[in-house]
Structure 1
């Protein structure tokens, strides 16, 4: 059985423009970090200290803006999951921080909360990823707190929970929050999102990413206009 043909990368042009150039996305990113800041302060106040607490955050399109490589891949007619282009970006790219990221993570650091950067970036480029995060001035960028591709994210989060209570998860795709979202159909993701509705905006903060996700090959559902009489 053959897989259905993939949509051409050029079909993502409007999504990449929105993600890279719109003021609305920047506003949404600021809004996410503003909400995360409220939740962070409340959790630390309730605990009396940041000791033993952790924030788990994805990196790409949650902390780092990688839209330049998205645009690069699209102009070459490549899919972003072409590993060689992405690996080169991990090593040599120059992403920048999302608005609000620096203030949030430095606040978590000052409050004594442990930060774990949990990403599916390639382990072979771990030193490059650490260098990128460090260059951008993020705190607690230590090898044992930068957990990259290998075991599923659910297992990496479970490892964090052995010694910490996770008070916030930050990410741009649903499997950044719970293992139940990994490897299921789009319809199942919708149902699971409904099942976990009480987590969103509380300890799960979802960042907008219009240019990449498990929904990318889904077929659109156009309006069927009534035929003229």
Structure 2
């Protein structure tokens, strides 16, 4: 009887082990929501290629426009900072490794380090722009209290126009429209660069997914000409639009929303 019970116990334990092994083999390796986008920014040569492509296109377009520039005209470009000129993926990577969520405090700590590196190709492009006599304005939704350390970061990267006169940060509203208009009062803005649709025009503000797509199509001829888009798979209004700009959703609610928007192949008749 003891021998029988021993064999039975071994069989049960072996079955449990085999079942667990089978589950581990068949279960997909699902990386956290933010992990793969951060790795894309930090390791993918494709990401670097997209950035170089954006800045090369911007330079080509400006070269064409400069041929028509009148001597007395004051030209400027307007550019976003985060994930357009400055790479902040290190901050996200740190949060992932520590198992923490983004907070205003964690972002403030990162900004105060003034340690962001350049988005590939950004510094060469901006220095070339300045050499053509074109002013550069950095319109960012970093808080106005971040100006000093951000300028330190820009100077550390030897970027032109790194001063308070050329950095227009958020003081009250996240809309950049008024700050863009302020630049336009004294300059002809010939190009805008960003990683988020609202970096270009107010028409994109607080729009749902369908409206964002429609507005993007309306100005299709501007992309790659006056509007230069940089890739950002980590965060942005594209993500906020997925959740209908709702704050306070649980991780489970966010996951359900994401899955509901995944498109399967159309049914073939």
How many residue pairs are counted as aligned between the two chains? 217
Determine the structure 2 residue equivalent to 1:10.
Answer: 32
Q: Is the 8 A contact 2:176 2:198 kept in 1?
A: yes
TM-score w.r.t. the length of structure 1 is: 0.89
Specify whether residues 117 and 149 from structure 1 end up closer, same or farther in structure 2 by C-alpha distance, changes over 3 A only: same
Provide the secondary structure at the position in 1 that maps to 2:234. coil
1:137 aligns with 2:178: no
Determine the structure 1 residue equivalent to 2:214.
Answer: 191
Provide the secondary structure at the position in 2 that maps to 1:167. strand
Specify whether residues 30 and 224 from structure 1 end up closer, same or farther in structure 2 by C-alpha distance, changes over 3 A only: closer
Provide the secondary structure at the position in 2 that maps to 1:120. strand
Determine the structure 2 residue equivalent to 1:215.
Answer: 238
CA distance in 2, matches of 1:208, 1:158: 25
Unaligned runs of 5+ in 1: 1-8
Provide the secondary structure at the position in 2 that maps to 1:47. coil
Measured on the aligned residues, the alpha-carbon RMSD in Å equals: 1.9
Which stretch of structure 1 is more off in the superposition, 68-77 or 15-24? 68-77
Q: Is the 8 A contact 2:114 2:149 kept in 1?
A: no
CA distance in 2, matches of 1:178, 1:225: 34
- Structure number with larger C-alpha Rg: 2
Q: RCO greater where, 1 or 2, for CA within 8 Å and sep 6 or more?
A: 1
CA distance in 2, matches of 1:179, 1:94: 30
- The structure with the greater share of residues assigned to helix is 2
Specify whether residues 52 and 224 from structure 1 end up closer, same or farther in structure 2 by C-alpha distance, changes over 3 A only: closer
- 1:147 Cα shift? 0.6
Determine the structure 2 residue equivalent to 1:4.
Answer: none
Q: Is the 8 A contact 2:139 2:176 kept in 1?
A: yes
Q: Is the 8 A contact 1:168 1:205 kept in 2?
A: yes
**1:1-229 pair list within 5 angstroms:** 10-49=32-71, 51-80=73-102, 82-150=103-171, 151=173, 152-216=175-239, 218=242, 219=258, 220-223=261-264
